[in-house]
Amino acid sequence: MRLRPEVREFIRNRRWVHRGDVITYGPNIRCDSFSTDAAGFRHSVFGGKALSAHDCLQSERYGLVLGPSNVYGFGLAGNENTMPSLLAERFGFPFANIGLPEGNSRNLFAILTAFMARAPRPPAAVVHISGGDFTNFCYTSVADPIFGSPNLLQMRQVIKERGGRTSPDAQIKPLLAFTALWIGAIARLCRMNKVPLVLGDDTTFFEKTEPSATDLECELGKAINAAQERQFAIHKKFVGDYSDRRISVAKALGVPLAGPGRTNNIGFIDEFHYDRDGTRALCDDFAEAIQTLL
């Protein structure tokens, strides 16, 4: 926290709310580091103006970035530094920030379906980051092949129903089936509407080739409680399985998978969220893939 003081504002203003059975970020948050719109989506920036998701959808041309909290930009101060804002800067049209807490592909498909049905025109490009499917599983160690993992606010009830925590070894196959199902649904929806789609090959500190001096000083990768110990252990054990499945799904769908690949050398705020330079490095990979489709 001493090295990343801006994170304090995200913790102080962190608010999760239910929209139906889905957890979203709190609406209409305003602070020095970030802001959210009336639907709980973080504002993106284009042409020096902060835009809500609705503002973007009303534009003549717009893009969408779908994903979990690394799309939202937890800990990343300045709406202008998030993935959607950087892509808007690169392509000359706004991108909406459709990031949810542990946002999974099923819920992001539902949002995309609603946007396609209700917006005046379809998006010019979509970037989908499915890493929330896996990180949610690492928190919960529970998965259903259709509905995925329970959200974090449901965990106490799920543990009670099952009479204790579930072994992740028995649950990884349902998780992989879930992610393949809903990534495929997003791809088919985009193809049906002639919308270019790029899948984001997001990554974490645990795949970093070598920690930086800042990483070491922040003690990234060191669990601070039993919950993190479980989460980190599950991640390390199954990240290869998840990565292999996402690669095979992208190949089968004929959709580009953009990102650093198996290892990375980018900057992190914590184990799962990128700093300013790390975010820009990922967006460079995404933009290169988008450019080939436009």
**236-280 pLDDT, tens digit each:** 999 999 999 999 999 999 999 999 988 889 999 999 999 999 999
User: What is the reported pTM?
Assistant: 0.94
What CATH number does residue 149 fall under?
Answer: 3.40.50.1110
The answer as to whether 1 is a domain residue is no
Inside any domain, residue 80: yes
Q: Is residue 162 part of a domain?
A: yes
- Residue 180 covered by a domain: yes
For residue 286, tell me if it sits in a domain: yes
What's the rounded Cα separation, in Å, for the pair 98 and 281? 20
**Is 197 within 8 Å of 190 (Cβ atoms)?**
yes
Which domain, by its residues, includes 116?
7-293
Quickly list DSSP for 249-294: HHHHHT--EES--S-B---BSSSS-B-HHHHHHHHHHHHHHHHHH-
Q: How many domains does the chain have?
A: 1
Asked if residue 141 is part of any domain, the answer here is yes
Q: Does 2 reside within a domain?
A: no
Taking only the tens place, the pLDDT of each residue in 88-123 is 999 999 999 999 999 999 999 999 999 999 999 999
Note whether residue 52 is domain-resident.
Answer: yes
